[in-house]
Structure 1
Amino acid sequence: MNQVALVGRITKDLTLKEHTSGRVNATFVLAINRSFKNANGEVATDFVLCSVWGRTAENLVRHCGKGSLVGVSGSIHTRNYEREDRSKVYITEVVCDEIRFLSSKSARSKHSENTAPSSTESKQFEEVKPTEQALPIF
């Protein structure tokens, strides 16, 4: 079984990439805080490469940007390629099947980067058109 569900914040503004086949995709990095503190008392963050295709990618780019909170569901894929110097590069990413928008570009632009979300914002989702499929929140 290869199933992944993650909730985190997008680290950079998104761009849509169109391939020669006509398919579109977006790649992004999701910052996910761990649920525990390390030996120094700090909460560590994992940065996970994600990829999404088609209409879901178009909706993600339209409604989300840097700092947007999203839930993703998909599977882990690995790929590799060889550089000119003959060294191999391995890439592991989550290919997203479903994405749930938990905050939007407009919600993030209302707050500065250092401001925590209000209690109202953290208790309810922003009104954003969902993708074709919704991610169940566990």
Structure 2
Amino acid sequence: MNKVVLMGRLTRDPEVRYTQGDNPMAIARYTLAVDRRFKREGEATADFISCITFGKQAEFAEKYFRQGLKIIVCGRIQTGSYTNREGKKVYTTDVVIEEQDFAEGKGAAKESNQGNNSAAGRPIEDADGFMNIPDGIDEELPFS
């Protein structure tokens, strides 16, 4: 079984490209900074995981994902290799995203980037206990 579940923050805005042809398809690449639970003195406190997604998922990432946003992704690990311009073989490891979702409310990414994490890492909720839905996503919801 090849199944990966990650929660982390986007290190930059997703990079989105479209394939050529009659039916162009979006391909989004982004990197997640995933905190390590156990930290040793002098070691990095996060891992930086390369992610790739296709089609509607990629278009969604392009529209709504921004640097600093905390997201949850599910997918699979895929390895590959290519020969670079210098003729050296380069090995790659990516998580191919099958599902992705928000892990916090709209304003939380801005707060965490400013060091004002008053929600202690929890999603921002309305008084009724539900997480806020980002602006402009209403037309993509399967219900009204």
When normalised by structure 1's length, the TM-score is 0.80
| Residue identity in the other structure for 2:11 | T
Aligned to 1:135: none
- Quote the offset at 1:25 in angstroms: 1.1
Please say if residues 36 and 43 of structure 1, whose CA atoms lie closer than 8 Å, have aligned partners that are also in contact: no
Aligned to 1:76: 77
1:107 and 1:51 map into 2 onto residues whose CA distance is 24
Structure 2, unpaired ranges of 5+: 126-130
Aligned to 2:132: 126
2:93 and 2:132 map into 1 onto residues whose CA distance is 31
1:55 and 1:31 map into 2 onto residues whose CA distance is 23
User: How many matched pairs?
Assistant: 130
| Residue identity in the other structure for 1:127 | I
Please say if residues 63 and 105 of structure 1, whose CA atoms lie closer than 8 Å, have aligned partners that are also in contact: no
Pair 1:84–1:115, CA change in 2 (3 A): closer
Pair 1:29–1:6, CA change in 2 (3 A): same
- The match for 1:39 among 24, 38, 41 is 41
Which is richer in strand? 1
Please say if residues 19 and 25 of structure 2, whose CA atoms lie closer than 8 Å, have aligned partners that are also in contact: yes
Aligned to 1:136: none
- Quote the offset at 1:103 in angstroms: 3.3
Pair 1:59–1:39, CA change in 2 (3 A): same
Please say if residues 82 and 88 of structure 1, whose CA atoms lie closer than 8 Å, have aligned partners that are also in contact: yes
Aligned to 1:101: 102
1:19 and 1:84 map into 2 onto residues whose CA distance is 23
For the aligned residues, what is the CA RMSD? 2.6
Aligned to 1:25: 27
| Residue identity in the other structure for 1:10 | L
> Between the two proteins, what is the percent identity of the paired residues?
30
Structure 1, unpaired ranges of 5+: 133-138
Larger Rg: 2
Moved more, 82-91 or 49-58: 82-91
| Residue identity in the other structure for 1:69 | K
